[in-house]
């Protein structure tokens, strides 16, 4: 089969997405690689999408499907907020995503993790896998990289983590999936949501931990070409 034929394939996110609750809020994390077959269409995409000021969603699967679901839910939640005069809860946002995913399960190829904080239930994480099932969980992992992380989370997860512990766990888990899963890669983005608001963090690929058998980063040809003062060439 001609590999170039894959350039016409739908953009999909062979992905690692994670949502973790901690004592006071939630931390969402994701890698940044978007692929079209064997071709990396975007190496720095943002897979954590804002639905409301206090609710975000991590997207995996078909990029187009996850984006259109997020757009619809964002619109519905905006209307909901105007009608009620207060922010929507995390449960309402997760149920809207569940409704759209389940009613269109024959056409959508996307798995989502909804996370946020509200004044009624605090920090909550909901998984909405392929097919539209809604599952409330203390932590959720999804995407192609998740298969490498179940044992890791069984060992590393604990109740009542601090914010710092939760964020370090998410970054460590995503970097581990990037090392093992060929469809995950790029940088790591996190979003922390609690009663004080939302904090986004960015971790470049060269600052992630190196795992077993991974190669140390080296200067690429692009680094040499972009150098401000390249060494002169001597011609004999």
pLDDT tens by residue, 58-73: 999 998 999 999 999 9
Model confidence at 106, pLDDT cuts 50, 70, 90, reads: very high
Is the pLDDT reported for residue 142 higher than 60? yes
Would you please indicate which residues are annotated as catalytic (active-site) residues? 15
Place of tokens 């995913």: 101
Cα-Cα end-to-end distance for the chain: 47
Structure tokens at 202: 């960015």
Residue 12 lies in a domain: yes
104, with CB counted inside 10 A (0-12, 13-18, 19+), is: middle
In a domain, 180, yes or no: yes
What CATH number does residue 212 fall under? 3.60.20.10
Is residue 37, in this structure, part of any structural domain at all?
yes
Check whether 15 has a pLDDT greater than 80.
Answer: yes
pLDDT at 6 over 70: no
Q: What percent of the chain has pLDDT over 70?
A: 85
**What is the share, in percent, of the chain residues with pLDDT greater than 90?**
70
pLDDT of 25-45, one tens digit each?
Answer: 999 999 999 888 778 888 899
Reply yes or no on whether the pLDDT at 228 is more than 60: no
Return the structure tokens found at 3: 């590999």
Residue 120 placed within a domain: yes
**Model confidence at 9: pLDDT above 80:** no
Q: What is the mean pLDDT of residues 139-163?
A: 94
- The answer to whether the beta carbons of residues 157 and 139 sit under 8 Å apart is yes
Place 235 in a pLDDT band, splitting at 50, 70 and 90. low
- Domain membership of residue 234 (yes or no) is no
Q: What is the pLDDT of residue 14?
A: 72
State the pLDDT confidence band at 205, using cuts at 50, 70 and 90.
confident
pLDDT on residue 82: 94
Whether residue 22 contacts residue 166, with contact meaning beta carbons closer than 8 Å, is answered with yes
Q: Confirm whether 1 is domain-assigned.
A: no
Q: What is the pLDDT of residue 12?
A: 62
* Parent domain of 124: 8-225
- The enclosing H or E element of 57 equals strand 55-62
* Number of domains into which the chain is organized: 1
Element containing residue 115 per DSSP (H, E)? strand 110-118
List 18's β-bridge partners, or say none.
29, 141
Higher pLDDT, 205 or 164: 164
User: What are the residues facing 110 on neighbouring strands?
Assistant: 61
Residue 230 lies inside a defined structural domain of this protein: no
Could you read off the pLDDT of 131-140 as tens digits, one per residue?
A: 999 999 999 9
pTM of the model: 0.85
What pLDDT band is residue 206 in, cutting at 50, 70 and 90? confident
For 99, counting Cβ atoms within 10 Å of its Cβ (0-12 exposed, 13-18 middle, 19+ buried), the class is middle
Q: Is residue 44 part of a domain?
A: yes
pLDDT at residue number 223 = 61
The pLDDT value recorded for residue 1 is 44
């Amino acid at each position: 089969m001609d590999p170039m034929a894959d350039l016409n394939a739908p953009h999909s996110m062979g992905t690692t997405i994670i949502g973790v609750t901690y004592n006071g809020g939630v931390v969402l994390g994701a890698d940044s690689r978007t692929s079209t077959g064997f071709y990396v269409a975007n190496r720095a995409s943002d897979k954590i999408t804002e639905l409301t000021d206090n609710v975000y969603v991590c997207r995996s699967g078909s990029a187009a499907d996850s984006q259109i679901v997020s757009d619809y839910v964002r619109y519905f939640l905006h209307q909901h907020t105007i009608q009620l005069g207060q922010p929507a809860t995390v449960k309402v946002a997760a149920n809207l995503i569940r409704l759209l995913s389940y009613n269109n399960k024959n056409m959508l190829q996307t798995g989502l993790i909804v996370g946020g904080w509200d004044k009624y239930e605090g920090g909550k994480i909901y998984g909405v896998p392929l097919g539209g099932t809604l599952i409330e969980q203390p932590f959720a992992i999804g995407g192609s990289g998740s298969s490498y992380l179940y044992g890791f989370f069984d060992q590393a997860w604990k109740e009542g983590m601090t914010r710092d512990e939760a964020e370090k766990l998410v970054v460590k888990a995503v970097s581990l999936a990037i090392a093992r899963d060929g469809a995950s890669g790029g940088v790591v983005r996190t979003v922390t949501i609690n009663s004080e608001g939302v904090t986004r963090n960015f971790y470049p690929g060269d600052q992630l931990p190196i795992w077993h058998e991974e190669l140390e980063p080296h200067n690429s040809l692009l680094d040499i070409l972009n150098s401000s003062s390249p060494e002169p060439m001597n011609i004999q």
